[in-house]
Amino acid sequence: MKIPTEPIGSVPRPAYLVQALGAFSKGEIKADELTRLTEKALAETIHLFEQTGSPVISDGEQSKPSFATYPIAGMKQLAPDGVVIPFADGHTRQLPKLTGGAFRYQTYANSYLDKARKLTKLPVKQAVISASAISLLYPQDGIAGYSRDQFIQDLIREAEADIRKCLDNGAYNVQIDFTEARLAIKLDPSKGLLKMFIDLNNQVLDRFTDAERKRIGVHTCPGGDHDSTHSADVPYEELLPYLFDLHATNFYLEYAGEKNKRAVLEAIKKSLKPGQRVFLGVTNVLDPRVETPEEVCDLIVEAAKVIPADQLGTCDDCGFSPFADDVSTARETAFAKIKARIQGTALAEKKLGK
């Protein structure tokens, strides 16, 4: 049995696409021109992924405004003053706030999947945003005529549809981005918020059969934006016992950027359940230095001393550019790291006799 390896999702957009997105937001170019440039970037991204030798690829999220807000892009019932997410370097990201119901996704992730699958013969995985992240759109003071309970039921239905459309349309697997998990502990050390998030996401996952859940995974990390994080100061060991209670099969964890790797491995060992697989991040997306395949191999071999090799896979720590305007990582660097991950995983397979 080989060690599976997969990307997390986003790669930096080409400079021309970043410029076009800015120009479109200012009304300087029309939608058809932005579409043309986005499709060009997607084709180039798929080609570069294929050149890395990756057995599974993504669309690099070239068309998404961000990993978190794609379902609501263009929604009318939004105000700009929603939840603020602070990062360690001082910058922030602010979510919009829902102003009315009923809640419906404006875009489903399978629309990105369909375009990517037409450009490659390789398996394509698709990332979707978690229901718990979208739940943050509902304001604390409520919405007249649209209760939080109504919103949650609408949200669960839409989150299920987002995943199911991808599964039904040929996704290799579907990855739920749950990057707010560690942040939840930072905001609420009692872990009440985290438990609420876990329960909400499980309400979505429980709508799928056991066979379907074998193609569903969850990604979590301390956030990655402009080479900064929002919750790296929260020890992974506090999260992992709860994370593996999610009713998913695959778990994609940031790992290369962790300082206390041994503690992370021991926490995984205690929490990982039969039938689950953990994909460890073996490339640090916040570090501009490209890892060597040998370094990647060493990380995997050390991990296999603690975690059963048949429950182990590899990935990148996070997406390289979860927000469209994040240009902190060079496109060439991202693909070089992806190639190192693939080559390093192959080296580890040989050492471990896989």
Buried b / exposed e across 118-154, counting CB within 10 Å, b at 16+?
A: ebeeeebbbbbbbbbbbbbbbeeeebeebeeeebbeb
Say how far apart CA 250 and CA 314 lie, in whole Å: 11
Q: From first to last of its 354 residues, what are the pLDDT tens digits of the chain? A: 499 999 998 999 999 999 999 999 899 999 999 999 999 999 999 999 999 999 999 999 999 988 999 999 999 999 999 999 999 999 999 999 999 999 999 999 999 999 999 999 999 999 999 999 999 999 999 999 999 999 999 999 999 999 999 999 999 999 999 999 999 999 999 999 999 999 999 999 999 999 999 999 999 999 989 899 999 999 999 999 999 999 999 999 999 999 999 999 999 999 999 999 999 999 999 999 999 999 999 999 999 999 999 999 999 999 999 998 888 999 999 999 999 999 999 999 999 985
Q: What is the pLDDT of residue 290?
A: 98
Residue 128, helix vs strand vs coil: strand
Compute the radius of gyration of the chain from its Cα atoms.
19
Q: What is the DSSP letter of 164?
A: H
Per 3-state DSSP, the chain is made up of helix, strand and coil in percentages (nearest 5) of 40, 15, 45
Residues 115, 63: Cα–Cα separation, whole Å: 10
Tokens of 188: 């609420």
- Which helix or strand (DSSP H or E) is residue 281 part of? strand 277-281
**In the prediction, which pLDDT does 34 show?**
94
Q: For residues 7 and 58, give the distance between their C-alpha atoms in angstroms, rounded to a whole number.
A: 7
Amino acid 25: pLDDT: 87
CB proximity list for 296: less than 8 A, separation 6 or greater: 282, 283, 314, 340, 341, 343, 344, 345, 347, 348
Tallying the residues shown for the chain, one arrives at: 354
324 vs 335: CA distance, rounded Å:
17
- Greatest distance between any 2 Cα atoms in the chain: 61
Q: How far apart are CA 337 and CA 284, in angstroms?
A: 8
**SS3 assignment, position 127:** strand
Domain 15-352, CATH: 3.20.20.210
Residue-range domain boundaries for the chain? 15-352
Distance CA 55, CA 11 (A): 17
Residue type (1 letter), 332: E
Please name the helix (run of DSSP H) or strand (run of DSSP E) that holds residue 92, with its range, or none: strand 92-94
DSSP classification of residue 85: E
pLDDT of residue 253: 98
